[in-house]
Each structure stands twice: as C-alpha cells, then as structure tokens.
Structure 1
Amino acid sequence: MPVVTDRANVPEFFARYQPMIDTALRSELARYASDIRTTQRYHMGWADKNGADIDATQGKRLRPAMVLLGADAVGGETRSVLPVATALEYVHNFSLIHDDIEDRDRFRHHRPTLWVVWGEETAIVSGNSMLKLADRSTRALCEIGVSLGVSLVAQQQIAQAYMRMIEGQYMDIAFEDRNTVSVDEYLSMIERKTGALIETSLYLGALVASNGNSNGRVPDGLRRAGYEFGRLFQIRDDILGVWGSDETGKPVCGDILNKKKSLPAIHALNSSTGKAAAQMREIYDREELDDRDVQSVLKIMDEAGTYEFCESMSAKHWAAASEIIDGLDIDERIRKDFFDLGEFLVERSS
C-alpha cells in the first residue's frame, strides 16, 4: 500500500503573512459581541471549550495567504486586502463547520469538532454567523481607501464564490447516493467546492491591491492559476484521505470508512473489473464499514493503480498552473513564491 510521506516545505511567504492575517482575523471576531463567539474561538484554535485562551493548531490559513500573495504580485499594499483575506477565511471556516456535521467528522486538527462539543444546532448557528462576519469584513474596504467600484466587485465576487462552494458541497453530498460518478463530474464538483475560494483569493488579492488600476492580465492570470491550484489542493486532500497518516488530524483511511466518493474511490469504482468491481460496489453499498472492508478497498485500489492515477492527475494540474505562472509579468521573487506554493500543494502531508 502506498504511504504518503512529507516531502513538502511550507512556503516562506506563509510565515511572512501570518502575523497580519492572525491579527486581522482576531480583530474581526473580537467585534462580535455574542456568546456564539466562544464556539468560534474554539473552532479557530484560539480557545478551549471553556473560552480560555490557548494556542492550538490553527490550520494553514491558505486562502488569506493567497490573497496577500496576489497583492504582492501586482506590487500593491498587502494591508489593503486584509478585509478580503479575512472574509475568505471566515467563509472557508463556515464551510468547515458545516462540512464536519455533514461528513460526521468528529476531529479536526486533533481536537473534537465544534458539533461534537456543542451539538449540531449550535454548530450550524456558529457556522452561519461566520458567513456574516465575512460579509461585514468586506464592507470595510471603502473605509481603507479602496474605490467603491472595486469594493462592490470584491463583495460580488466573494458572494459568487461562496455560492459556488455551496453548490459544490451539494454535489458532493449527492454523489454519496449514486453508484457511479465520473471523473469529469468529480472535477466539476471540486472546482466549485474547493476551487471557488482559492481562485477568488488570488484574483481579488491582485484586483483590490491595484485598486482596479492593473491592466487585468495579472489578476486574470492569477484566477486561472488559482483554478488549477484549487484542483491540486483537493486531489491531494483526497490522496491524504486514503493514504495519509494521522498528521492530517483525521482518522487514517477516513474517506474509505465514510464511503466518500473522493477521487480514489471514483477511480477504483470505475476502473476495477470482474470480482474486484463487484466487491467494491458491494462494500460501498453497506451501511457501515469496518477495518476489513478498508483493507479490501485498499487492495482493490492497489490492483487498479488508483494511487498512481491520482498522482498523475495532480501532476497534470500542477503542469498547467506552472505554465500560467511562467507567463505572468510579475517579480521573480513572487514567481518563486508561486512555485513554492504549487510544490507544497502537490507534496503536503497534512
């Protein structure tokens, strides 16, 4: 069975941007005078379930970092895009809270998920209010000197992105009740569920930082690169959901146990033949799976070359992203940051 090892170095620009991102996220939530905030501080990794300050694992903050990287790509002021970075990270966390309920995931970053601690009803409300925090954050753009026109475009783009993300989540849930899902259908789903926020992060970082004064080539190019990065991110997530270690903060082989129609399952269901195909379908038709089922699925995937297929898909989209980045008229230091980002997304282990 393939085992994913950690070959990735976290890109340097993550550390460069994290202090600004963390301050902006905390400041926005601090303005929310509600008891719900305790649940949100817990989810964000800033507090325990009693509200006491802690410093737990807080995720990669990928999307806000990509917003700031987009701003640097056009030579803009990174602080001008912090409202966008904050908004997109809260939209993302709104989706994570709901996603944990829908997937029945009991752990995230090695801690019980919000719904496990407070119940589903509270988790739904907490997630919904995070979405409104995002809306409030974008309204601050005009206050820091971004033009009204660009501010309205940013708000519209973020709203469209989270509607596409929700549509992708709906497709993902619908796949669970289907016996067959094609790879093309899967790609259509992930470009919404995962890709929408990622491509919007890069595009709006460049657009807002330039205050609409760029020639459009760099923002548009970053949107196209973000499209490929979104696919890269989700394909790697799917690989980790089957062959990853407990570094992910979730159960090993959790996607098999949950019968997720992720890329490995879709490939194995579509490409296995004979007895293996029948066994694969029979296992995924069961109400619950056990460790023996997981081992059977892993054996079928191994025989079908599923891991190699997923890696080849990842390489294909990284090649497409690399070509776009090569063609951008940007500073070479920033170009290196983009290549570091792509290699991280391809090789990360958590």
Structure 2
Amino acid sequence: LIYMHWMNTMFGYCGPYKYQTPYCEHLRDYLAANLAWMQEQMELYQDQDYWHQLNKGRDIILTRLKGLFQLGGDLEDLEAALNKSDAKRTLGSGSCSALIKLLPGNKELLVSHVTWNTYQSMLRIIKKYTLPFRRSPNGLKVINGQCENMYNNQWMVVDYNKFKPGETDVPSGLLTVLEQLPGLMTWADKSDLLYQSTYWPSYNVPYFGDIFNASGQPDLVKKFGDWFTYSKTPRAQIFKRNHTLVEDLPSMMRLMRYNNFLNDPLSLCSSCEPKPNGENAISARSDLNPANGTYPFGAMHQRQHGGTDMKVTSYEFAKEYMMFAVNGPTWDQVPPFQWSTSPFSNLMHMGHPDLWKFDPILIRWK
C-alpha cells in the first residue's frame, strides 16, 4: 500500500526522470541537516518538555521524517524557499475544512475534519499513535520557540477533559486556537466564543487579524473580493447557515460532506463562467468544474482536487477511542467520483478502486 501511494503521489519527485539538480541537492542537504539537528536536540535537552516528548516518540517521528510522505505540506514552502523552478502553488487552493460543534443544551461536543487534497492521494491508512507525552503548562510557548516556519496553518486543540456535558459555565482551555506564519505566531483561548456561537469553523482563511494581514490576504481581497475574506468566503457562509442543522453525529457528517454547488447560491462564483463552482463547498469537488470554463484564479478551475475524506468524533466517542470515517470525494448531492469516466483517467492511481462510492465506517480502538 505504501509503495502504491508513493508511486501515485511522489514518483518522479527529484528523479529519476526529472531531476532539478540545484533544488534537489538543496532539499537533500536541508533535510539531512534538520534531521541531524533534531537528533542532537533530543539528546541534549531531554529535560525540556518539547524535546522530552519528541525523544519518547523518536522512533516513529524519525522514521516518518526519513521519507517524503510527512513532508507534503512542508514541501509547498520548501519549493519556494529553495527556488524550485517549476514550483506551482494554486492560488486560493484549500487544504481542509474543520468544524467544532457544541450541540443544543451543551449535551455533546463534536469535532470533525475533512482533508482537501489531490485525488491521487486517496490511498489511506487509519493510524492510532500511543505516545508517552506529558502535560506542559507552557505548551504553546514551547511550540512557538520551536516553530520551523513551514506548513503554516491554523491549529485547533480541543481538551475533552475540560468538557462537562450539560453545563453552561465556559470551561477555560477547552478550545485553543493557534495560527502561524514565518516569524509570527498567535494563539488564544476561544472557548468563550465556542459557547457563545456554538460552533468554531476552519476553512483556510486566517482568523487572527495580525496573521490575516501578514499573510497577504488583504491584497487578495482587494484584487478578487469577498472570496478571500474571513467572514464572507463561501465556506464561512455555508458553515454559518448550516451549523444549526447539526443535532447529532449523522447530521454532522452530512454537513462535513456537503456539496450542493449546482443549487446552492452560496456556491456561486460571480466572476466565473459557469457561475456554480464545485470548490465552493464544505467538501470540494473541483473535478466537476468544466474544463472550458473561465475562472478568476487557480482554485476555481477544473482540478483533480477536493475533499477526500471525513472524520468525526465526539466527547463520548473519544472516551472509547472511536470515530466515524469515510474515504473518497463526497457523493451526497453530486455524482460519485470515478477514475475511468473522469478527465483524469490517465493519471497514475495504482491500487485505487475505479468508483469511489463508500459509506462511513465506525473505527473503534480498544
């Protein structure tokens, strides 16, 4: 399975058929130096929280870092930093949708995530890591001091130990949100906002003002309009409208797999032709956009890219290490993805089923 996934997603990267000598040599040197530095720090600073935790899980961490699989997000930044000549980052391309939802009466707290990626990446392994971590009261400060300034993102930490079903008092530290850029990191306890609005959405637009401004987002807003804003981008509006429909795990899954772009006015792209766009949904289906359409920027084009899974858990599920998961692009309101009938049938998809039409499965670890 790992071999097939490698062939589908990484084959040809830095050889054997395409080899950009300066970039690939710089990448190799960077990775080797970074790995050696990590190993040195683990040995020298085992008494510090950050390096203690990495040292305890070092076999897993170092094994994964020696391959390229775990560097997918980092490579986006490294290609630019190391001057890869054909680095192509699609403007506006989303990475994920996420939602933290407090149910009516505060009876449950649901957490869900949808990966957005290329369809070639859809061979998946569900993993459970057991790591001997220890708690640190200054965890975010530790992360800030060790930030590598790559795969910059919004990170959400839900501490289910703080959640008390049915209680109205806001528990401090239940939801912590962190956003990062090179040289800049901002975080805050957003538990109060979660209890006030009953939901926290995430959709690849910075929440904190300093991160939003430093990211270059205001320039994109000036050029392309509301699509690049925090509150008016399509996913923000869909989450705001539809989160009230969530009352249990099945309805949460329906929202996280939602894509009704042909009929939903919030999925329209005013400067596109045609105007309905499969990117503008909680679980994108960019493959359904016409190849001969006209679009203002790259993310709106036809691409072999979209929501490729859905995972959801709850307070009660988390106690038993349980979750629901489904693999493949959504097919709730749109046709299921099929390689043989898609515009991308010539792309390598070794080990994939032809038709991606699967129901969620219950994952349970003892």
> Could you tell me the TM-score, scaled by structure 1's length?
0.35
Whichever structure has more strand as a proportion of its residues is 2
Higher relative contact order (CA 8 A, sep 6+): 1
